Structure 1
C-alpha cells in the first residue's frame, strides 16, 4: 500500500539556451549547481530527495506544509539569484506537486502521486507551482502565498480530470483573479460542457472542449496549438478555463498583445493574464504595429472561443 507523502517534481527551464551560450562544459556546471541548490531547498525543509534528473529534482515530504514551504522558498531564492543574470543565461524553475501513497523501491519511488506530480510539472509554466487541491487543502499557507483554482484539468495518461491549483508565491497581488468578472450564477459544469475552443492554422483544424483545458500556444511540438514563428516562444501562452471564462496567460519572452473588437486600444500581457471577451485578436511575440506579427483571431460564440490562425504577409 505504501506510505502517504507529498511528491514534488522541480525542473529547470531554459537550459537549451544556456548550452548554446556557454558551451557544454560551463553549461553543465551551471545546471548541476542549480540542481544541487534545488535539492538543498528540499532537504532544508525536511524533504527527502529521491533523485536528481539532469536538470530537475524528485523529492518527497511527510508534511504537506513543508513541501509547499520548500517550493515557495526555492522560487523566491531563485528569483533573487537570477535578478542580475544576462537574459540568455536565465533559467527558471517550474514545479508540480501531488499527495498520495507511494512505494519506495531501490532508491526510487512509485505511485499515482509521483506520476501526477510529474505531469503537473510538465504543464506548469516557468516560475509556476502547480498542485492538486488535495495538497493545498491540507496545508496552512504562509503570508504572501495564495492559491488560484484552475478547476478540473485533464491529465495526459489519466482517465479522470483532477482538481488543480496554482500556488502564487511572489507576494504580489493576484491580478489574474482581479481581471475575472463574477460568475453569472449556476454551476460551472453546464457552461464547461458546452464550451470549446476551435483552432485553425492553415489547413490544420483542432477543437478542444473546455474540460480539456489548459492548452498551450507556442513553438513546441507538444504545444496543443503550434505557431511556428521565430518570435513565438516555445510555450508562448496558455488558455485556461476559470470561473466560466477563457483566460489567456502570457508565458513568453517577448510578450502577447490582445485587441478586442470595438475596443479603443491594445492590451499588453507580459507574464500576466486577461479574460477573452467576445472577439478580437492575439498578437504573439510582436505588437500589432508590426504587420508581420503572427496573429490569432478569436471569437466567443455560445460559450465557446473560436480561434483562427493568421500569418500576416
Structure 2
C-alpha cells in the first residue's frame, strides 16, 4: 500500500483471553494460543484481499478496498477464532472495529480517521462483537446489508460528533469462556464429519450423531494403544457442528491443519474443518497407526 492519504476501509481486531491464559498457564502457552489466533486472522485478511498494516501483540489492523471485503473478513475471523480448540478450558475471542476514511501509512502505525475510528470502535465493542461506522455501512452492497443491524442508541462520539453505529449480526463471537459453554452455531444438517482410522472411514452426521472412541471393543473406533482409555472420547453432532468430548485419563490431543496441537482434559471443543486426533498420545509422536484423521464435508 503506498504511503499516502487514501480512502480505505480499515479493520481493527483485538484478541481477547490471552491474559487469562498467561495467568493460568504462563506466558509461553498464552503466546502459543495467541499466535494460533493471529495466524487464522491474517490468513482471513489475505483470503478477502486485504492488506495487513499492523500485527503486534493482540492487535491487528488491515485495510480493504471494499466495504464488503472488510465485513466478510470480520465475520470469517470471528468464526475461525471461535472454532479454535480451548486451552485448559479457556478460548480466545475478538473485538472488531471497522471504519472508512482517510488512511496514512507513513508512520510507525497506521493513522488517519479510518484507523483512529476503527481502533475506537474495537475498544468500544463488547467481547465477541464487531462494530462498523455508518459510513462504512453506506458502502456495503445490497447483498451484505442484511448481515448488519443499526445501534440507534449507542451514543458513540468521536472528535465531538456522534457516529452512527452498526453491528455485524451474522456471526456470534465469544469472549474467553470455559469450553463447556460453547457458542451457538448455525444449524447445517448437510454437513458430515468423515473420520479415518486404520484405513476405515467413519461418518458423523445428523442421521448418525454420536461416535465413540476408546480401547474397549464396542466403540465405533477401537484404539489399540495402552494410553487410550476404555471409553476415551466421543464426537457429537450438535446444532450443525461437531464436538469432541474428552472422557479419558490421559487426555485427547487435537491438531487442526496448520495449527499447533492442543490437549483436551475432561473438556469439549467444536472441531475445525480438518485435522488429526490422538487418544492419549500426541499426533506428532509415536502411535501414528492409531491416529484418527478427520475432515468436515458438505453432503
Q: Would the aligned equivalents of 1:8 and 1:96 in 2 still touch at CA under 8 Å? A: yes
Q: Which runs of 5+ in 1 are unaligned?
A: 173-249, 255-269, 272-313
More strand by share: 1
Equivalent residue pairs, number:
177
Aligned residue for 1:80? 83
Render the CA deviation track for 1:13-65: whole Å, top value 9, x for unaligned.
12211111221111112212211221221121111110112012011111111
Relative contact order, higher structure (CA 8 A, sep 6+): 2
Question: What is the root-mean-square deviation of aligned Cα atoms in Å?
Answer: 3.0
Aligned residue for 1:149? 150
Aligned residue for 1:7? 10
1:38 to 21, 32, 41: 41
Deviation at 1:87? Answer: 6.8
SS of structure 2 residue aligned to 1:104: coil
SS of structure 1 residue aligned to 2:105: strand
Q: Would the aligned equivalents of 2:92 and 2:176 in 1 still touch at CA under 8 Å? A: no
State how 1:251-290 maps to structure 2 within 5 Å: none
Give me the whole-angstrom Cα distance separating, in 2, the residues matched to 1:12 and 1:252: 10
Deviation at 1:252? Answer: 9.5
Give me the whole-angstrom Cα distance separating, in 2, the residues matched to 1:252 and 1:21: 13
Aligned residue for 1:24? 27
TM-score using structure 1 length: 0.51
Q: Would the aligned equivalents of 1:17 and 1:88 in 2 still touch at CA under 8 Å? A: no
State how 1:104-183 maps to structure 2 within 5 Å: 104-106=105-107, 108-140=109-141, 146-151=147-152, 153-155=154-156, 158-170=159-171
SS of structure 2 residue aligned to 1:59: strand
Q: Would the alpha carbon gap of residues 8 and 162 (structure 1) be closer, same or farther in structure 2, given more than 3 Å must change?
A: same
Deviation at 1:124? Answer: 0.9
Give me the whole-angstrom Cα distance separating, in 2, the residues matched to 1:252 and 1:118: 20
Aligned residue for 1:230? none
Q: Which runs of 5+ in 2 are unaligned?
A: 185-299
Render the CA deviation track for 1:109-146: whole Å, top value 9, x for unaligned.
21111111101101111211100121122112657962
Q: Would the alpha carbon gap of residues 23 and 156 (structure 1) be closer, same or farther in structure 2, given more than 3 Å must change?
A: farther
Deviation at 1:152? Answer: 5.9
Give me the whole-angstrom Cα distance separating, in 2, the residues matched to 1:35 and 1:139: 26
Aligned residue for 1:100? 101
Q: Would the aligned equivalents of 1:131 and 1:166 in 2 still touch at CA under 8 Å? A: yes
Q: Would the aligned equivalents of 2:101 and 2:113 in 1 still touch at CA under 8 Å? A: yes
SS of structure 2 residue aligned to 1:169: coil
Q: Would the alpha carbon gap of residues 106 and 123 (structure 1) be closer, same or farther in structure 2, given more than 3 Å must change?
A: closer
Identify which range, 143-152 or 25-34, moves more after superposition. Answer: 143-152
Q: Would the aligned equivalents of 1:152 and 1:163 in 2 still touch at CA under 8 Å? A: no
Deviation at 1:2? Answer: 1.4
Give me the whole-angstrom Cα distance separating, in 1, the residues matched to 2:111 and 2:144: 33
Q: Would the aligned equivalents of 2:8 and 2:64 in 1 still touch at CA under 8 Å? A: yes
Deviation at 1:78? Answer: 2.1
Give me the whole-angstrom Cα distance separating, in 1, the residues matched to 2:97 and 2:133: 9
- Are residues 1:61 and 2:58 paired? no
TM-score using structure 2 length: 0.53
Deviation at 1:171? Answer: 7.9
Give me the whole-angstrom Cα distance separating, in 1, the residues matched to 2:84 and 2:36: 12
